[in-house]
Amino acid sequence: MPNYFFGIKKESNIILEKDETSHLKVVKKEIGDTIDVLIGDGFFYKAIIEKIGKKETILKISKKIKDNSKYKPEISLFLGMSKWDRMRLIIEKSIELRVQKIYIFKGQKSHQKYKNLDKFYKIIIESLKQTGYSKIPELKFIELENIPKINSLVLDFEANNEFKKSIEKLRENINIIIGPDVGFTNEEKLFFNNNEFKIISPGNTIMRFETAAIYTLSAINFINDRLI
């Protein structure tokens, strides 16, 4: 399992803030040790511990390694606001499955309204560390009507379009739109239809919100040999 720390780059140093410093102490790292670090910029870093304080640790960069991994097609995931535990699971797994962009919108049936992205950002950082993903995905709120129509697939179990063929047609970029966990309203479905979004169903088996998202992302990766 990867064992990365996450820091903030300042000139030739990397700073580990309070939580990461606490983790450093838990795993019994000492001054002079070399550790693996991510800062979310598409590089892997080797860094030497120079100072361990109460609230931060100072590291000296010893090696910078470019991550040459290419994940094509690029995946953007659009999630309707839903219960936190379910959102958390999707975001964790989307990082493992190498989603490049995550957008969160409030659907008409959403019972939750998230006011900031701090909680989501923390989940992303933890997932980066656990899976060795070097680039922080773009993370934003978006209004449903501003979701791009081109190369977009809306997940809806009532749809009849062929799932596999719809995915196979998109080779450069794919926008996956799902949620909220209680589904879309008829008005929202009409919006998708009127604006010529491609609406697909993951299959005849009824799945939970998070299962459908993970299944679809996994299918995209498999069909495109994306993680090889």
Instruction: Show me where the domains of the chain are located.
Output: 5-66, 74-223
Which regions of the chain does DSSP assign to beta strands (E)? Answer: 5-6, 8-10, 13-16, 34-38, 43-52, 57-66, 74-80, 101-105, 138-141, 152-155, 173-178, 198-200
Asked if 179 and 80 touch (Cβ cutoff 8 Å), the reply is: yes
Q: How far, in Å, CA of 122 to CA of 110, rounded?
A: 22
For the domain covering 74-223, report its CATH number: 3.40.1280.10
The pLDDT profile of the chain, 228 residues, written as one tens digit per residue, is 458 999 999 988 999 999 999 999 999 999 999 999 999 999 999 999 999 999 999 999 999 999 999 899 999 999 999 999 999 999 999 999 999 999 999 999 999 999 999 999 999 999 999 999 999 999 999 999 999 999 999 998 887 778 888 999 888 899 999 989 999 999 999 999 999 899 998 888 888 989 999 999 999 999 999 998
Residue 140's pLDDT is: 97
Question: What is the assigned CATH class of domain 5-66?
Answer: mainly beta
Degrees to nearest 5, angle at CA 151 with 147 and 154:
60
Residue 80's pLDDT is: 96
Q: How far, in Å, CA of 11 to CA of 103, rounded?
A: 31
Residue 154's pLDDT is: 95
Residue 2's pLDDT is: 57
Q: Would the CATH topology of 5-66 be identical to that of 74-223?
A: no
52 DSSP assignment? E
Classify the C-alpha dihedral 156-161-165-168 as positive or negative.
Answer: negative
The amino acid that residue 37 corresponds to is V
As given in the structure block, the two tokens for residue 69 are 């991994």
Residue 3's pLDDT is: 81
The sheet carrying 152-155 orders its strands as 138-141, 101-105, 74-80, 173-178, 152-155, 198-200
Residue 129's pLDDT is: 94
